[in-house]
Every structure is written in structure tokens, then in C-alpha cells.
Structure 1
Amino acid sequence: MLPPTCINHLTTHPPPWLPLTPPPILLLSTLGLIILIKHFTIFLNWVFVTFLRQPKNLLHNYGSWALITGATDGIGKAFAHQLAHQGLNLILVSRNRNKLETVSSELQSEFQDIKIKTVEFDFSTANGAGFIEEAVDGVEVGVLINNVGITYPSAMFFDEVDEKIWMDIVKVNLEGTTRVTKAVLKGMLRRKKGAIVNIGSGAAIVVPSHPLYAIYAATKAYVDQLSRSLYVEYKRCGIDVQCQVPLYVATKMASKVASIEKRSLFIPSPEDYAVAAIRRIGYKPRCTPYWAHSLQWFFADMLPEAVLDAWRLSIGMNRRIN
């Protein structure tokens, strides 16, 4: 052990081999370690949320009925099946009477203990608030899935879109979602519980622009902002509002717009998407439920906006030519 005089000398006159400040390599290593720990923590949280966290009991937490718009095809139909599997009664909304009867019969034969109501309505033709209010009168709607949505028949520049096309998109995607939410919210406020799930789109959120589908993307951006604001407004009232952001799902709309014919690693079936989506209800105000979609979003977020813009424009132009 050094005598006190030696210790004092070393303190006031450090030897030349003892640096006064950490070398740059040490600072870089420390910074790298911090970044690595941060990303590893994010990865662990993603694994937990995506695969391990228990989903909420929708029947117990929110109520015995669920209302699904656009319920006879694709994501909406898959949601109806998953909600019925959890024991919720269903209100199915669609513009096609024959499809409503078919889907209702299929679900009723598989889930004999649940009740099913159907509402035939085309959101592009009129104000749907009255129809929805009548359908939910006396019914405790605990879960709302705002799934109905339409897009362009093909890739178009803004000036080429006919007024009827873009007005229908606004009526269905924007006005329809707003009116149904407002109609169902009244009962949720009385009961002080409920879950509202609005289906957004990666076209409005994951990428900075969606050229040749501008109006569709704009309406989905509205859905995202509406959801986020309502989440803040009504969280204290026991109502969970969420915007779910899928990328491509193997639906009829995706087949028509993007020539997607079947599922793949990054393109789930509606059923696979709905299974993942149910697990996320009631948590964050915005999420990308399907694991592969969240990975795509992660890597897209690392790219410069100019690169994403050029990529999306090339996709739109290719669909326009074909």
C-alpha cells in the first residue's frame, strides 16, 4: 500500500501514461454499447408485444356485442370470425344482402351460442348514422371494428380521378368511419367502457407519400389522426381507441389494386391478420399487428424519404401501365 505522500503526489501530478480524459475509442465504444442495449431492449419489447403478451378478454373488458363494417369480405369477415370465437355477439354491416346472409349463416352454424344481426347499407350512397343508431339501439356494443374502405379502381394522377370516384372514397373511408364511430360511442360513454378499432393503411403512415392513390392515402391519414385524438379524449372514460395499420393483406382489394393473388411471408391472409389484430386491441393508439408488417415498417423508417417517394412512384407508374 502506498504511503499518503505518494497518493497525494499521484493525485496532483498524474503520470503521463494516465490520460486526463477518456480516449475517443472509449467514448465510441460506450456510445455503441448504449445504442446496442437500446435496440436490444426495443427488440425484446417487440417480441413480447407481438408473440407473448396476453390479449385482453374483449367480452369481459368491453361488452357482449361487436359491430363490424365491411364484414362480408377480407379483413372484416376474418374479424367477425375471431370475435365470434371469443363469444361476442355480432352486428355485421355490408352493402351486399346476399353476402350478409351467407356470412351470417356460416358463423351461426359454427358458433351456435352467439346472436347475429345484419345491417345492409352502402356507405357511398347516403348518411348511415340513422341505420347504425337503429341497429345498436338497446344493444351493448363493446367493440367496434371500422373496417369498411374503398380505393381507386386503378392507379391515377390526381387530376384524372373522376368526382364520383373520389367522393365515394371520402364518403366511405372518412365520413362513414366518423358517423359509425359517433353512433356507437354514445352507448360506450354511458357504460364507461368500449374499444374502437379503425383500420388505417400503411399507404398513409408507413411511407411518406402514396402517389397515384393520393385521395385514398389522405382519407386513411384522417383515420389515423382521428383515432389518435379520440384515444386521448376518451381514454379516461374507459374507451380504448386504436388505429391498426396493415400493409398488404391478401384481400380482393389488394388483388384488384396490386395484383396480389395469394399470401406470402410479408402478405398474410385475412385470417392470419385478424388473429394478430385481435391480440393488439385495447393497448396502444396505433399499431401494426402483423409481425412481418412491423418489420417492413422498421426498415422503411431507416430509408430517406426521397428513396421511398421514388419507389412508391415507380410502383404506381408500373400499375398504371399494366
Structure 2
Amino acid sequence: MIKFLSRLIKRRNIIKFNKVLSNVIDTPPIYSINTADVLLVSQVHHAAVKMSLIAIKSFVSKFGQCKIELINDGSLTNSDLRILEEHIVGVTIVDIEDIDILNCPKGGCWERLCYLLQRTKDYYVIQLDSDTVTIGAVPEIHQQINDNSGFTIGGPMFPDPVPVEYMSQLAESWNNDHVQAKAEKNLTALKPLNITHYLRGCAAFTGFPKGSNLLTLLPDVSDIMERQLGKETWSEWGTEQFSSNVMQSLCENSQVLKWPKYHNHGFPNYETKQSGLAGYLGKVSLIHFIGPTRFSNDLYTKTVKHTIQNLG
């Protein structure tokens, strides 16, 4: 009965969300600024075009001008491309098949990671998922960019970098079969790459410093972990997120953004004294509405509605 009610609530929230989301088409366009020093990269799927517009427009409205490049995951239609180009004037859209994956796994967002590390040659690069919404000021992001230091969204359990030996030991105690946990058990295998600490974050919102020159190390990370876990396991969804964390960990002075100001919805729950969106405004800058909890309540819908009203 509880599971049935949960599915019913989720279904109702999805219907409400899609109705509100459709209004993003009526918001004014934004502009990709070719002369900007900061590059915003996002991978876009056909079913998430309007979500992507909310994510990108809300971030730009709080952050400011940047160059914008999108990765077509192969599912975008001509209509999708037209909408994106109309709403993000001057945007560059890259075909996923044109990205060099450097002997890393194919799929699972690996192309995205390879691409954004490649672009750090010329820009400070921010990776933004389509299921994020920026609702507040982002001074921490500007500070990290000014310092040319990396960042990643995370959680309260791991607010700071963790020694790789401890992270490996802790992951071993979890008895978790998820590929990220399996990889974290084997973190010490990466010590030849001079990794000493590990930032346990989420690839949904990350920033990589200009000139970080990490692209040469990514294939080494992949090769080492494939030998540790086996090719089949290393090809599972989740290895790119682990590898993004490793890349952040190899950047000097990278930080996990403060929780709950930047957080993954429901991981863990953020309790406020005020109900609904009111408890977030003025306290939270960016929310990643991660899949498993995305429609557990109507917060995503309320956040998108608030954002659209302020974009108009």
C-alpha cells in the first residue's frame, strides 16, 4: 500500500512538473559569450531539453556571462537543436561521436568528462547537469574561478578531502556492490599518480581549473581501475562520476562546495523550519534534483515555477 501511494504521488508530481516546465519556452533567450574566460558545458538528452534550459538559464542568471557549449548525446532532434539555438544565442553544440575518449569507456558520460578536461586548455570549465536549478547567489563559484581552483557538489558526510587510505578502508566496510564503492575500495591503486586525498562529490556540478592538464592522466586512471575491477565492471554507469572525483582530487586546492547551500536533493534530506521552497530561498544556491528523489515531493516543480517567473 505504501509503495502504491508513493508511486501515485510521484506520478502526480511528474504531471504537475511537466505542465510548469513547458513554460520555459516563453522565457527570453540568453547569450553564449565567446570572449568569456569561463566555459559552461552540459550534455543534453532529447527528453531533458526543457530541463536543460532551466538549468542553464537559472545558472547564468545568478552567475553572469560565460561561453556555453552543449554535448548532443545523439538523441537530439532537429526541433531540439532549433529550440536550444533559439534560447541560447551563439551556443556551440558538439556531437558526442566527435569527442575523443582516449581509450576510456564509451558512454556513461565519459565523453562529457573527456571533453570538459580537453577544454580546460583554454577555459575554466564548469560542468552543469540538466536536473540542476540555481536559485541563489553563487559567490563561492566566482571565488574558486578567481583562484583557478576546482570545485564539486557534495554532501555533509564528506565536506573536505579525505586521505585515500582512509577512503579505501571506509569503502571496504560498506559492503556495497555499486561500482563507485568498488572503485573507492581500490583508490590506493592510484597512488602512483600522486593522489593523496579524495574529494567525494557528484559530477552533476563541477568546476575544473584552466590549464589543469588533467586529460593526460584520465586514461591512466581508467587503465589502472580497469585492471583492478575488470573491463565489464569498469564499463558500468558510475565510473565516470568516480573518475570526475579523482580528477578533482588531483587539482590543487579543489573544494567540496558547502552543504546545504549546494546540495543533491534528498542525499540527505535538508530539513527547514519553513515548508516548501520558502525554506530554501535565501539559504540555498543550487539544487541537484537527482533521479531517485527528483519527484518524491513537489519541490522541483515549485523551484522551476519560481525560476521561470524570475526569468521572464
TM-score, L = length of structure 1: 0.33
Higher relative contact order (CA 8 A, sep 6+): 2
Q: Which structure has the highest strand share of the two?
A: 2
> Rg: which structure is higher?
1
